[in-house]
Amino acid sequence: NIENYRDFTDNPYEFELPDRVVHVTDAPFNAKGDHFTDDTDAIQAAIDYISSQGGGRVVIPGDLTTPEGRRYVVTCIKLKSNVELHIEKGATLWQSQNEDDYKYEVAYGHDVSIPGVNWTHAGLCHNYPLILVSGCENVKITGGGTLRGMDPGSECEDGTNPNTLWIGCPNKIHVILLGMYDSKNVEISDLELIRSNVYHISTYACENVYFGNVTMHEVTCASGDGIGIGIGSKNIVVDRCFLRSNDDGVVLCSSYNEPRGLVWWFPKPDADNCISNIRLSHSCIFGGHGLTFIPWGTDNPDLSKQEISDVVAYDNILGGGYSVGTWCDNPYYGEQPFTNTEEDDYSPVKNVRIYDNLYLAKADLLTIKATNIITDCGLNSASDFQHGDFERKNGQSNWIAGLSNWSYEKNSSPNSVGVTKNNGGYCGYISDLDKGNARLYQGLYLTRGKHTINVDLKTSGVTARFFVQNVRTNEIVKSVEFSNTEFKTYEIVFETQRSDTYYIGIDAGSAKSGSAYIDNAKVTTETLPVPKYFRTNMDDDNVEFLDKGIWSIIDVDNNKVLAAPMGNGLSNVNFKNKYKDFDFITNICIRSSTATIDGNIGFLVRYIDDNNFYFLEYNNVENFLRVRKFANGVPTLIEIIHNYTLNMNEWYTMGVRAKGRTFEWYINKELVISFTDNDSNYIQEGEFRVNAYNMSAMIDDVEIAEVNTIDFSKDNPPIPKTGDTQSLLHLLTVLLLTGTLIPKKRRNK
């Protein structure tokens, strides 16, 4: 953990508690902390007493003189409002292994049986949490101590090893170590959670919650999710936390009438179930999915009350099966029995910023079409309006969409943006424009091409504006004023040379009063062809000509480069066209490697499929250059050069020339390998790819050109960056609006 993290961060929901203090080991409470005695009642009595006195701190004394510290056996501790539970370093609240200690009938094993319900984890549906915060305000858990789950014999050697994961599971009473429900103003800081046998922390229907310096590790069973945020929880900060587990890391779950909430937490079908205003920062999250979106709210009659929105994640290490992932098919609605294959059974996701993280795996939201999402991990917004007609698309006839997927900025009037009736359906509006500007729009990702935007618009007689705004540059690309008082279809047509995110919608324009209305918003796109030959510096429009896969644009030394993810397995960058004869050049750098036997960076030349191509590779484990031909899946060695070393974190210029049967490979202006394939079945044409295996490589200043047009004996100069004349004020505006990175001047390598 980080002892001085408070020097760098604050709890934005900070609150004060009375300075009254009791120790659970003092009379009349007399907790033992002797590793054997059930101390649940003693600790609960101390909490009840301090609560009856108006609040304060309850201290769990620790012992730093022995490796095991002081261990307090407990079953379920219930916190109360205005109480801080201060678990000192060297103190552990350890889940009792004695069934007789529990004040309820426990369930053993991972799941309980609820007919027709999936994932009925006992700790979620039947057993009470080790610590329960329910119906509370102004609660803290602090001190640097430990919560420890039931782990008889510690059979599970490694919580991420599938061969040992389930050992001992039937003999454990699975409980969530920290469960919070219907509470407000909660701080969880300087806390370690170990040997969990199900979710570590679950947060349901809570507001103003701060997690700081929380460490979770040594999970002893499956489903070891880290921090779950669900049932309308809002204003949650996860800061400088550490999780290593076998399941989802930080989980955003917008479920509706959850059938699993039966004992210590309950669904709130009549409430606002949106998950909103979530910040994940400066943390290391390793699980099945690092950051996980679970939009299971499609059974809510009002879909706008089930959104996951206003999420920002930055300066984290995100790993696991996916750095950012999802479970996007609602198991409690739609096709039954549940198959996890429906493509439109998810509730809305909008207003998401994910940037400046270290991604150890790919990011994928599968079928989710989120709006106004900007990331540097390859996730983009939808390319067409979602609920552009403000109508429900996957519900019953009387169900509504509201402002689902629509972003908005209100003026001082709380009713200045909303939805109203229109010809038996609904439309969106901005109003009370005498109170200031209001905006209603969707953030859409438009690929390189020609775009036609059609919307139905009207006003109350004032002149409002229909606009298209580039989010990255803040530029209003096109706009149209409108003042008609009956709905009329308007059209904006524009062409983009670069794929980008755009805000498309309405604002007050020149109107100083009245209202404006929007309905039936649609986008059609004619994609422009990708040129066969081009050059890019990764910070210009031409970067869109690359199929980047799971590689992403990152900043290195004030310069944008294209990089494979840290912890990369196998990935490549595809140049989209098919090539026969060509020249290629790039600057390339190996920044990390996980390889122990085989790790390589290289080029797939004339790639037809996974069984037919030429492979030019550098192996960083055995330090050799090698060229092989794959024909019908059978590799043939063409040439190998041993004892050839490329240093980590050092840039090299590499070039490839393919001309007929002859191929040349250049490194730093030197021809290192030249060969001719005299086979009558030589590969004549195919794709060109940059390939990385068990290493994270970076490339920049890439050019693919007609054969014999690149002089490989000369340096590969950086391509001049465009757009350096933007003003500081403009750049600050972009940063505040989007949360994306400010473009920086390039530096020559």
**pLDDT of 711-738, one tens digit each?**
999 988 876 654 333 333 333 333 333 3
Q: What backbone phi and psi angles, to 5 degrees, belong to 169?
A: -55, -45
Strands 516-527 and 449-459: antiparallel
What pLDDT, on the 0 to 100 scale, is given for residue 742? 32
**Statement: 5-68+79-375 belongs to CATH 2.160.20.10:** yes
**Statement: 407-527 belongs to CATH 3.40.50.2000:** no
What pLDDT, on the 0 to 100 scale, is given for residue 247? 92
Averaged pLDDT for residues 117-138: 96
pLDDT band of 360, cuts 50, 70, 90: confident
CA atoms within a 13 Å half-sphere pointing along the CA-CB vector of 394: 21
**Spatial distance between the Cα atoms of 366 and 104, rounded to a whole number of angstroms:** 41
Helices (H), 92-144: 122-125
Q: CB of 467 within 8 A of CB of 476? A: yes
Averaged pLDDT for residues 580-599: 93
- End-to-end Cα separation, the chain, in angstroms: 36
pLDDT tens-place string over residues 68-99 = 999 999 999 999 999 999 999 999 999 999 99
What pLDDT, on the 0 to 100 scale, is given for residue 155? 64
Q: Does residue 436 come out as left (phi exceeding 0), alpha (psi in the -120 to 50 range) or beta?
A: left
**Can you tell me which residue has the tokens 């399941």?**
247
Non-local (6+) Cβ contacts of 677 within 8 A are 614, 629, 638, 661, 663, 683
CA distance to 41, 472, 501, 551, per residue, from 498 (Å): 64, 11, 10, 18
What pLDDT, on the 0 to 100 scale, is given for residue 743? 32
pLDDT tens-place string over residues 261-311 = 999 999 999 999 999 999 999 999 998 899 999 999 999 999 999 999 999
pLDDT band of 396, cuts 50, 70, 90: confident
Question: Hey, is 685 helix, strand or coil?
Answer: coil
What pLDDT, on the 0 to 100 scale, is given for residue 153? 54
Averaged pLDDT for residues 561-584: 91
Cα dihedral 374, 377, 381, 382, rounded to 10, equals 180
pLDDT above 70 for 359: yes
Q: CB of 285 within 8 A of CB of 318? A: yes
- The CATH architecture annotation of domain 534-705 reads Sandwich (2.60)
Q: Does residue 461 come out as left (phi exceeding 0), alpha (psi in the -120 to 50 range) or beta?
A: left
Question: Hey, is 183 helix, strand or coil?
Answer: coil
pLDDT tens-place string over residues 489-547 = 999 999 998 899 999 999 999 999 999 999 999 999 999 999 999 999 998 888 889 99
Domain residue limits, the chain: 5-68+79-375, 407-527, 534-705
Please name which of 717, 537, 683, 703 lies closest in space to residue 605, comparing C-alpha atoms. 683
pLDDT above 90 for 248: yes
Highest mean pLDDT among 61-75, 216-230, 357-371: 61-75
pLDDT tens-place string over residues 397-442 = 899 999 999 999 999 999 999 999 998 899 999 999 999 999 999 9
Q: Does residue 208 come out as left (phi exceeding 0), alpha (psi in the -120 to 50 range) or beta?
A: left
The reply to whether domains 5-68+79-375 and 534-705 share a CATH topology is no
Question: Hey, is 597 helix, strand or coil?
Answer: coil
What pLDDT, on the 0 to 100 scale, is given for residue 376? 85
**Spatial distance between the Cα atoms of 251 and 120, rounded to a whole number of angstroms:** 17
Q: Does residue 268 come out as left (phi exceeding 0), alpha (psi in the -120 to 50 range) or beta?
A: beta
